[in-house]
Amino acid sequence: MKNTKTGPVFYITIGILILAVILGVIAPHVLEAGTAAAQAFISERFGWYYLIVVSLFVIVCLYIIVSPYGRIKLGKPDDKPEYNLATWFAMLFSAGMGIGLVFWGAAEPVYHYATNSPTVEAGTDEAIKEAMRFTFFHWGVHAWGIYTIIALCLAYFKFRREARGTVSSTLNTLMKTDGVLGKIIDIIAVTATVSGVATTLGFGAVQINGGLSFMTDLESGFWIQFIIITVVTFLFLLSASTGLNKGIRILSNTNMVIAALLFVCILIFGPTLYMLNLFTNTIGKYIQTLPAMSFRIAPLTEDARDWINNWTIFYWAWWIAWSPFVGTFIARVSKGRTLRQFTSGVLLVPSLVSFLWFSVFGGASILLESEGIAAISELAEEEALFGVFEHYPLGLVMSILAIGLISTFFITSADSATFVLGMQTSNGSMNPATKVKFIWGLMLSATAVILLYSGGLQALENTMIVAAFPFSFIMILMIIALFKALKEEKPALQAEKEAKKAKRNKEVNV
């Protein structure tokens, strides 16, 4: 029987987070200033590194899809997928993008168009195209490529090699990770996970607050957000106590239903043809200019470089910080799928759904802005979506649904995160103890509260970028370890290919 008890990784990371929480309470400005200085240093000095390494992840994923390795199954040859495709997509999507899509769906495209265009003059027709193209870039295959790498490595070594379900266990083909080194790797992974999830929970609380304040006289502020986080914490801990196949599965499917309902409402009530044309045109531009965007660092233009630091580098760090959590969760629900099916599904399908989402919600906000109907770009980011709904039939109903959707995404993400953190700090146990999940749930909420208290969203973003940096090096090692392990399977793959060829020849002769 495998050891499922908590160990040094659990206690050390909890200790680090408690110290950070105490510092945030006693000296919030110190915490905000420290994370801001570290964030500025990493973005300025290592922006080039982020662009190269994230593009490398995408290239690796594309290679896996077309290579012979794609036939390898995540598990034994006769293992079947635990979840059907619809539920599988719903679970990985809810964990991977949920709150972010709702938060930025209307806000990011209209901001790029009206306020700070990446490459052209703001407010022009060209700015509309640029706004959509770079939004697709930030939420497309680069984001899901990061998730795919982590999930693929964890799932392969867990289900194919029967390793522990921890990040450090994926590196056993390169080094010994049973000792101190392995613990350090897992501590870095868990710390990155907490910072990424806490950031997103902070976004969720701020947007729920923004929606309520937009529709009522309720003010936006820290104490309202604190109450929101407290209520949602109770709900996601309740969900966490029911297990993976009840709480998370049901909530994930609920998320997809509500999101689809909002999507269809805006698509039907809004400028449908405009949105579909915007989607089609942007897809072409995205594919055409993807290599140039992937490596755009603007070394000679300070304003352009600031834009890249504040948007592209921020997003790449966000996805990396989230990747241990999302990757572990996706790996957990993906047993029985081939590497090709897994990589194609995780990389391409959610990217396409994200593109459709931004074309509809971003297209709606841009059209309202460009035709002078509403100044959506002047609203706070967390209020932009509700500003769009205000100008559509059933606007109040859609706003209430959106708050419900943010809440269920919030609960799903936090519930999934408690499961993943429990798994990572319980020697890779596939069923971590409820007590451990509860402790992590409380720590996630406390971290989100303190970061909001010490510096609002900016403190959340700063912390995430800092935490993602060291984990990116671990991801590179994971890729090397994966290909070393896959190379060992080449003889078996060749034998399988020859056996199939011989069988076909035999059938033809008969």
Instruction: Enumerate the β-bridge partners of residue 338.
Output: 73
Amino acid at 256: M
pLDDT band at 248 (very low <50, low <70, confident <90, very high): low
Q: Count CA atoms closer than 13 A to 497's CA, side-chain side.
A: 11
Task: Enter the tokens of residue 134.
Answer: 């770079």
The answer, yes or no, to whether residue 167 has pLDDT greater than 50, is: yes
Residues 386-403 have pLDDT tens digits of: 999 999 998 999 999 988
- Using alpha carbons, select from 321, 491, 351 the residue that is nearest to residue 62: 351
Residue 300: CB atoms within 10 A of its CB come to: 7
pLDDT band at 366 (very low <50, low <70, confident <90, very high): very high
- Higher-confidence residue: 483 or 422? 483
pLDDT of residue 1: 39
Mean pLDDT across the stretch 147-164? 91
Alpha helices in 371-433 (DSSP H): 384-389, 395-424
Residues 109-127 have pLDDT tens digits of: 999 999 999 999 999 999 9
Query: Do 421 and 167 meet the contact criterion of CB atoms below 8 Å apart?
Result: no
Residues above pLDDT 70, as percent of the chain: 93
pLDDT band at 2 (very low <50, low <70, confident <90, very high): very low
Mean pLDDT across the stretch 152-172? 89
Residues above pLDDT 90, as percent of the chain: 37
Measured CA to CA, the distance from residue 436 to residue 438 in angstroms comes to: 5
The answer, yes or no, to whether residue 507 has pLDDT greater than 70, is: no
- Strand positions, DSSP E, 148-217: none
Element (H, E) at 503: helix 490-509
Helix axes 434-487, 180-215, angle to 10 degrees: 120
Measured CA to CA, the distance from residue 156 to residue 485 in angstroms comes to: 9
pLDDT of residue 509: 66
Residues 249-289 have pLDDT tens digits of: 677 778 788 888 999 999 999 999 999 999 999 999 999 99
Please state, rounded to an integer, the average pLDDT across all residues of the chain: 86
Domains in the chain, ordered, with CATH?
8-493 (1.20.1740)
- Higher-confidence residue: 52 or 190? 52
Query: Do 13 and 192 meet the contact criterion of CB atoms below 8 Å apart?
Result: no
Query: Do 205 and 232 meet the contact criterion of CB atoms below 8 Å apart?
Result: yes
Measured CA to CA, the distance from residue 317 to residue 337 in angstroms comes to: 28
pLDDT of residue 281: 97
pLDDT band at 199 (very low <50, low <70, confident <90, very high): confident
Q: Look up tokens 């590497």; give the residue.
A: 339
R_g (Cα) of the chain, nearest Å: 23
Element (H, E) at 238: helix 222-240
What pTM was computed for the model?
A: 0.88
- Using alpha carbons, select from 323, 248, 320, 321 the residue that is nearest to residue 94: 248
